[in-house]
Amino acid sequence: MINIIDHELKPSETIILTGCPGSGKTTVATHRAKILTETNSNSKFRYFIYPVLLKQYLTNVLKKEKIPESRVTSIMAWYYGNYRKFLLKDNRVNENEVVRHFSGTGMTYDNIIVDEAQDIWPEVLRNFPLISKRITFICDHAQEIMGNFSSKNGNIRDLLKTDIERAGYSVLVRHLATNFRNPESVYRFAKEFVRDMPTSDIERFNKAGGEPPLMIVMKDPNRFQQILINQVRNNSGINIGILCTYASDVRKVSSILKRDGIEHTPYYNGIPDEEKKSSLENIKNVVVTTFKSSKGLEFQLVIMPFVENYKGDAETRREYYVGCTRAEERLILLATGKPAEIINTIPRGTYVLKEI
């Protein structure tokens, strides 16, 4: 990891860094950003990120390292700010327009860092050589839940390497193979969701063993609210992520916590601007968000409610993989009725089932 952090890229050189969840990919990115700032304060670089919540967390971290907030930006906000055009039109990227904008402004950077690159459109990624002399891409194919690469043959590492080499850049591929975040038991459970998909190799777990995930199944749906509240209150003082599939579920959980007087931060794509501003400015210990918005984050306890709605399609399975791998210590899944789909999918020996 230290060698990757310290590696000084030459002009027209790129690093593609891959690794499993919790392997330190974002740690490498933030330390590279710090070095770029310390060695040359006049260096032009940008740290691009897609998930807004992760961007806010990173901004707070990098502020402590005296890295200007302006250098950490979401790709969507940066694109609109520079070109006064939205990157997406009808939920698609116009590559010809991207090339025209990147080529026509004369804007170039000495370095750019692209975190969670699997969530950014390939039409954008492969044209970054037009605006930067040196590029660091950080990605994990198994965490690709935005659908940008799911229809392509191969994984993001190989596809990106081919595209960047076509642009005349040399590419160094590096891989981080130690999982520092998840207890081994939690990761083994998470991997069952994507067992037929390519995942990053892991050579070692920093947290061997660990408490297996707990699935609480409530026969009476009316017990859900109290069980959820009890789990949050019984774990006060630690960081808790309550992760959901849909924005409507985030609002539902937020309403339950609010009625019980539990301080928390709700966030989802499309949250009203005033609520978004309030959430991002004062992030609480309890965060309620979607799987997609939780990318790159980690919590001591992850609670995943509404498991009875689990569907075994590829997108949902990747989302559950991402959600489970946010857990630093424990993972609890909550379901009402009979969550047959998930129980029939995941081997019983990988979790503890508690029916109440």
- Torsion sign across C-alpha atoms 311, 317, 318, 321: positive
Q: What average pLDDT does the segment 249-266 reach?
A: 97
Are 7 and 29 contacting, i.e. CB atoms less than 8 angstroms apart? no
Q: What average pLDDT does the segment 44-71 reach?
A: 87
User: Of the given ranges (97-106, 145-154, 257-266), which has the lowest mean pLDDT?
Assistant: 145-154
Q: Where are the beta strands (DSSP E) in the chain?
A: 13-19, 45-49, 72-74, 88-89, 92-93, 111-114, 134-139, 170-176, 178-183, 204-207, 214-218, 240-244, 265-267, 286-290, 299-304, 327-336, 352-355
Closest CA to 12 of 104, 160, 128: 128
The Cα–Cα gap between 246 and 258 comes to: 18
Entry pTM: 0.93
DSSP-based three-state secondary structure for 135: strand
Q: What average pLDDT does the segment 167-181 reach?
A: 96
Are 187 and 298 contacting, i.e. CB atoms less than 8 angstroms apart? no
Q: What average pLDDT does the segment 9-14 reach?
A: 95
pLDDT for 142 equals 83
The Cα–Cα gap between 162 and 19 comes to: 19
DSSP-based three-state secondary structure for 323: helix
The Cα–Cα gap between 298 and 124 comes to: 27
